[in-house]
Amino acid sequence: MHSKVIFHIDVNSAYLSWEATSRLQNGHSLDLRTIPSAIGGDVDKRRGIILAKSIPAKKYNIKTGESLMEAFKKCPDLKVVPPNYDLYMQCSNAMVHILKDYSPFIQRYSVDECFLDYSNMDEHFGSPVQAATTIQTRIYNALGFTVNIGISSNKLLAKMASDFQKPNLVHTLFPEEIEKKMWPLPIGDLFMVGKSSAKKLLNLGIYTIGDLAKSNPDLLYTHLKSHGLLIWNYANGMDHSLVSKESDPVKGIGNSTTIPFDVEDEKTAKLILLSLCESVCMRLRQSNLSSELVHIKIKTNNFHSYSHQKKLLYGSNITHTIYQEVCLLFDEVWDKEPIRQLGVRVSNLNASTKEQLNLFDTTHKEKLQRLDDSIDSIRKKYGNEAILRGCFINAPIKPFVGGMPTKDYPIMSSLL
DNA sequence: TCTGGGGTCCTAGGACCC
DNA sequence: TCTGGGGTCCTAGGACCC
């Protein structure tokens, strides 16, 4: 009847569930999911926002993205725990490992969300709802956390369905159910309708997803350009994107950091930029890529952001080279306002080849490249802070800033 | 005492070329 | 004195996602 059957698997309150599960496995008796709790950053380091919350915390109207201070005002007893990204990656991998038993077509959409193509699989694991229920139970029994699973004939509808009532539920949203299940929802619930689009739509008298579906696409184009047509299609349940096994090639690599204090001098700013370049360039090299476009971003202490970018004549992944370009960009654009956050990003990526180094200055560049290679291998062996540039000694700056998605974690069950 | 960090895609405006 | 239009590339900024 349905040509395709797509599942969207979404971990309920992922960071918080994973932390709760991990604590139970490590002998804690309290389940964080049963009390008002949240995963949050460090207030002292000016990173104090809510990253995830428990369902009891949700009842206090605590929202992801708001500051811890606001959250404490709503719920003084809120239990806040710092994030642990390594744990999240392990849990995510363990879940995918299970999902692979039910279809070869799985797309990791984020650390806590997957699409799975269940088309023509009924004879193996039963009807879509039966299979989804089986998957849910297996994940809970093996790994200790709950997921919502949305089922439909395309990815958009499956994703919308997994967002219905939570936790630990399976929902369908086939095209014939759109009118009843999706159209009454407020416009902001639609995938790809954020704050800004919602505001424009409200001004046009469009309040629900149904209103949007029935609106005139020409009008939408006038006010929201191509994005208007995209969300009109979504409101009508139309999406033809495929569950893609291979993850898209990386388009860019970046790291940014909020500094615990306002930076008012060039020297400190450049130290931070160097530490960002260290992590960005190491990631570049690990992917065997080089970059032809370097980009920096500055956020001031009053939250004004601006950026600057530059094309390179030749691709590079050498820390020293990228750092020099970053410094030039910084000098060209910094307006001397106190800095809260700095970011470095590289894009226009190509497979790195050593040939481009032969054009000129060969010995110098080869030396730098060998330096990077040795630093990389030391860090790989002994950790990112095992080796650091002399300028970081006695400086109040971490010599290596930035998260790196780490691969090849053992699956979780082997840790339990 | 406010307000993270990792991404992708789109658009407007200017430069430049024919 | 007036005054084309098509195309591409580049940049900065904004919107959206998790």
Q: Clarify whether residues A230 and A317 are in a common domain.
A: no
Residues 273-302 on chain A lying near strand B, CB distance under 7 A: 283, 302
Tokens of A226: 């191509």
Pairing between β-strand A50-53 and β-strand A147-152 as defined by DSSP bridges: unpaired
Q: Clarify whether residues A110 and A227 are in a common domain.
A: no
* Residue list, annotated binding site of A for Mg(2+): 10, 112
Q: Clarify whether residues A193 and A331 are in a common domain.
A: no
Q: Clarify whether residues A8 and A153 are in a common domain.
A: yes
Q: Which nucleotide lies nearest residue A163, CA to C1'?
A: C18
Q: What is the pLDDT of residue A277?
A: 97
* Residue list, annotated binding site of A: 10, 112
Q: Which nucleotide lies nearest residue A292, CA to C1'?
A: C10
Q: Which residues put CB within 7 Å of chain C, the nucleic strand?
A: A 109-113, 159, 191-198, 227, 293, 305-311, 333
- The three state secondary structure string of chain A is CCCCCEEEEEECCHHHHHHHHHHHHCCCCCCHHHCCEEEECCHHHCCCEEEEECHHHHCCCCCCCCEHHHHHHHCCCCEEECCCHHHHHHHHHHHHHHHCCCCCCEEEEECCEEEEECCCCHHHHCCHHHHHHHHHHHHHHHHCCCEEEEEECCHHHHHHHHCCCCCCCEEECCHHHHHHHCCCCEHHHCCCCCHHHHHHHHHCCCCEHHHHHCCCHHHHHHHHHHHHHHHHHHHCCCCCCCCCCCCCCCCEEEEEEEEEEEECCHHHHHHHHHHHHHHHHHHHHHCCEEEEEEEEEEEECCCCEEEEEEEEEEEECCHHHHHHHHHHHHHHHCCCCCEEEEEEEEEEEEECCCHHHHHCCHHHHHHHHHHHHHHHHHHHHHCCCCCCCHHHCCCCCCCCCCCCCCCCCCCHHHCC
Q: Clarify whether residues A121 and A259 are in a common domain.
A: no
Contacts of A371 (CB under 8 A, 6+ apart): A320
Q: What is the pLDDT of residue A412?
A: 33
The CATH number of residue A210's host domain is 1.10.150.20
Read off φ and ψ for residue A395, nearest 5 degrees. -95, 150
Q: Clarify whether residues A21 and A57 are in a common domain.
A: yes
pLDDT by residue for chain A (416 residues), tens only, comes to 558 999 999 999 999 999 999 999 999 999 999 999 999 999 999 999 999 999 999 999 999 999 999 999 999 999 999 999 999 999 999 999 999 999 999 999 999 999 999 999 999 999 999 999 999 999 999 999 999 999 999 999 999 999 999 999 999 999 999 999 999 999 999 999 999 999 999 999 999 999 999 999 999 999 999 999 999 999 999 999 999 987 889 999 999 999 999 999 999 999 999 999 999 999 999 999 999 999 999 999 999 999 999 999 999 999 999 999 999 999 999 999 999 999 999 999 999 876 555 555 666 777 777 777 777 777 777 777 667 677 776 666 667 776 543 333 333 333 33
Q: Which residue has the tokens 């604590």?
A: A23
Q: Clarify whether residues A275 and A199 are in a common domain.
A: no
> Whole-number Å distance, CA A164 to C1' C8?
46
**Active-site hit among A70, A113, A177, A292:** A113
Q: What is the pLDDT of residue A402?
A: 65
Taking the C1' atom of B8, which residue's CA lies nearest?
A: A251
Yes or no: say if A49 and A72 are a contact pair by the CB < 8 Å rule. no
Taking the C1' atom of B3, which residue's CA lies nearest?
A: A67
> Whole-number Å distance, CA A297 to C1' C15?
17
The CATH number of residue A82's host domain is 3.30.70.270
**Structural domain includes residue A347:** yes
Q: Which residue has the tokens 């994005």?
A: A227
Q: Which nucleotide lies nearest residue A11, CA to C1'?
A: C18
**Structural domain includes residue A245:** no
**Which nucleotides of strand C come closer than 7 angstroms to any CB of the protein?**
10-18
> Whole-number Å distance, CA A231 to C1' C9?
29
Residue A113 among the catalytic residues: yes
Q: Which nucleotide lies nearest residue A196, CA to C1'?
A: C15
Residues 36-75 on chain A lying near strand B, CB distance under 7 A: 41, 43, 46-49, 51, 64-65, 67, 69-70, 73
Q: Clarify whether residues A221 and A313 are in a common domain.
A: no
**Structural domain includes residue A103:** yes
> Whole-number Å distance, CA A312 to C1' C4?
35
Domain containing A261 equals 252-392
**Structural domain includes residue A116:** yes
Q: What is the pLDDT of residue A260?
A: 96
Taking the C1' atom of B5, which residue's CA lies nearest?
A: A256
Closest CA to A242 of A128, A112, A119: A119
> Whole-number Å distance, CA A200 to C1' B2?
27
Number of domains in chain A: 3
Q: What is the pLDDT of residue A391?
A: 79
Does at least one atom of strand B sit less than 7 Å from the CB of A250?
yes
The CATH number of residue A368's host domain is 3.30.1490.100
Q: Clarify whether residues A319 and A340 are in a common domain.
A: yes
Taking the C1' atom of C15, which residue's CA lies nearest?
A: A196
**Structural domain includes residue A104:** yes
**Structural domain includes residue A30:** yes
Q: Clarify whether residues A214 and A284 are in a common domain.
A: no
Q: What is the pLDDT of residue A17?
A: 98
**Structural domain includes residue A399:** no
Q: Which nucleotide lies nearest residue A42, CA to C1'?
A: B4
Q: Clarify whether residues A204 and A57 are in a common domain.
A: no
**Structural domain includes residue A242:** no
Q: Clarify whether residues A312 and A366 are in a common domain.
A: yes
